[in-house]
Amino acid sequence: MKSPQRTSWSRHLASWAIALCLTATVRASNQCAPSIWQPGQFEDGLFVAAAIPTPTSSFSSGASTAASSSVGTTSSPVPVVISPVVSGGNITTGTVNCRYAGTTEGMDINYYTCSALAAQYGISVETFFMLNPDVNPDCGNIKADTDYCVAGFVEPARATAGLCGPPNGNATCLGTEFQCCNANTFKCGNSTEDCADGTCYEGACAGDSVFTTTGECGHQHGYKQCAGVWGDCCNADGKCGTGESFCGYGVCQLGNCTVPSQPTGPPSWLNGNTTDGTCGGTNHYTCSVVYGNCCNKDGICGSLASDCGEGCQPQFGNCTTPNTGSSSTSSSSKASSSKTSSSSKVSSSSTKVTTSGHTTTVSSKSSTPSSKPASTHATTTTSAKPPNTSIPGEAALPSCGQLCFNNMLAQYSSLGCNALDAYCLCNNVDFSNGLRDCSNGACGTAVASTVIAFGSAYCSTAFATHKPTTTGEAALPSCGQTCFNNMLAQYSQLGCPSPQDSYCLCNNVDFSNGLRDCSNGACGTAVASTVIAFGSAYCSTASATHTAAVTGVGSLPACGQTCFNNMLAQYSQLGCASPDPKCLCKNVNFGYGLRDCSNGACGTAVASTVIAFGSSYCASATASP
């Protein structure tokens, strides 16, 4: 039997438990979103949790509307309060049209808050200050728990009357019924012509900032491209058009420029792999100019008519019968060949034999004198006098020398030159080096000296008769011009105010390194040397003619000025009584902070300029008494 007292205590305990539960429920109601009981939620003893409303963003008031009467089946809509920073209604031209806002709620408030807020929403510090003109450049007046604009633009003048472009206050067609500004009429339209590249000044098109609407283009005019009615090529003078005078190799700087076809490589038989003068057979050797280009029926390389004629094996060499000239020349050649082959030792240099009043030049080379006749090349003159001691013309060279010389001429494109431009060819050391190596391998060192001497004379004449016609950037091959212009276009990333500031560009090693890497990749190492040399001359001129105009923190880009001023403002945290340079520079965190801030706000390329300024600033501070 239960005691009445025990029953009484049990009842008291139950009452206290209910009271405590109710108290906790009342307190929790101020902290948690209200739950709305739905009809049938407790049927069959099952509890179905009501959906908890998603917390509103920083742009809402954060307050929730209480659920409607439990009798109703639906709750009333939750009001959303738009941040007052976000623009609404008519926006005045020239003011910020904010489309999205962020908040400093929960953030540390200091001089870095602006940078942190910009980074959080993926915009630059400069953009943040542009969108929030009331915030000081040093971020000194930013406030806690406050909304700031993080996405938007400066409201442009709208072409409400259908008139656009410079004659109409630079009114834009965007946001109006007709989206494209015709550069010929400066009226908004939607036709294909209105929106075409080269005609559309701005609006729903790439616009005049990319494609010229005046016919002026290239690096002289902001690197604008040619399109539409202006043609598709920009020549060296910065004019658009079509045809060779605009698109031709050496005159075209941008657009559909003509690129000369690369000369085909030498035939396979020229680079034969025979090591002993044999060809075909089980080794499948191919002939080369060293042993003769033709693989005869006996599997021996040679260059006589008997080697290149009947029975010649074309799969292992060249089977084109060599040109032997006139019958008299051929007979003289045979006679000379007979005389030279009968001697016990054949000189590798040219042998001159006079027959029937004609001077015949014989060039002999044989790897196996006992097995086959010597390869012979002959030319005749109409005079019985000894040949002139001056360097002969190309026709007087032995066939191997002519072949090497013509091969090097055919490499003009790889050497960065136009065809038969002797002055350009001879300015590239690979021309003379190639002639030297080819003639040494094909003719032998003794005969090669004649070929090399001819090349030297050819270049001496080219230098003596050259008259400069084109200088500067236009003298570069098209691949070099493209690389140079690409580096100029990177001026912003290189921390310079414009592509015309050559002194600033050349003070950043990434400019010369970029020109070097681009030209090596686009032109090849041989031609790249010309482009790199031009870049060096460009920078030498820039340094020689530079006159310092802006110094101090004012010479830094905006992001660098912000970082530097932010660090000055941290003087108290750096243990200084004031922004005293000597005191600040004694604390390594001043330099570290400037480094980290500029790398983050400006990028590593531009940051080097800011860091260098900081180093100079501290050097001056510590040097002064």
- Report residue 27 CA to chain centroid gap: 64
Q: What's 58's DSSP letter?
A: T
Going by C-alpha positions, the residue among 217, 219, 212, 221 that lies closest to residue 505 is 219
Across 597-625, average pLDDT? 80
Helix/strand/coil (H, E, C) string of 571-609?
CCCCCCCCCCHHHHHHCHHHHHHHHHHHHHHHCHHHHHH
More confident residue, 264 or 446: 446
Within-domain flag for 382 = no
Of 545, 564, 580, the one marking the end of a domain is: 545
**Residue range of the domain that includes 521:** 472-545
- For residues 414 and 457, state if they share a domain: yes
Same domain, 561 and 615: yes
Q: Are residues 457 and 483 in the same domain?
A: no
Of 414, 434, 465, the residue that ends a domain is 465
| 570 and 617 housed in the same domain | yes
Give a three-class secondary structure readout of 481-508: HHHHHHHHHCCCCCCCCCCCCHHHHHCC
Strand partners, 105: none
Q: Is residue 166 part of a domain?
A: no
Same domain assignment for residues 439 and 481: no
The pLDDT confidence band at residue 114, using thresholds 50, 70 and 90, is very high
> Are 493 and 526 within one domain?
yes
143 domain residue, yes or no: yes
Residue 405 DSSP SS3: helix
Name the residue among 364, 386, 388, 385 with its Cα closest to residue 376. Answer: 364
Greater model confidence, 368 or 151 = 151
Whether residue 476 sits in one domain with residue 540: yes
pLDDT of the residue at 33? 41
Mean pLDDT of the chain: 74
| 610 and 580 fall within a common domain | yes
| Domain at 100, CATH number | 3.10.350
At 27-74, the pLDDT tens digits run 433 444 444 444 444 434 333 333 333 333 333 333 333 333 344 444
| Identity of the residue numbered 309 | G
The pLDDT of residue 342? 37
Instruction: Decide if 246 is inside a domain.
Output: no
- 431 closest CA partner among 417, 444, 442, 443: 417
pTM: 0.33
Specify whether 407 is located in the same domain as 461.
yes
CA 409, CA 423: separation in Å to the nearest integer?
A: 12
Asked if residue 505 belongs to a domain, the reply is yes
Residues 563 and 540 in one domain: no
Q: With pLDDT > 70 as the criterion, what percentage of the chain qualifies?
A: 71
Helix-, strand-, coil-residue percentages of the chain, each rounded to 5? 40, 10, 50
Please tell me whether residues 562 and 609 are part of one structural domain: yes
The whole-number average pLDDT for the span 260-269 is: 55
590 belongs to a structural domain:
yes
Task: Give a yes or no: residue 436 inside a domain.
Answer: yes
Residue in the block written with tokens 């009467």: 69
Q: Is 343 a domain residue?
A: no
Q: Computed over its alpha carbons, how large is the radius of gyration of the chain?
A: 42
Decide which of 465, 482, 510 is a domain's last residue: 465
Number of domains comprising the chain: 4
Is 208 labeled as ligand-binding? no
Residue 307 assigned as binding residue: no
Looking at the predicted structure, is the pLDDT value of residue 453 above 50? yes
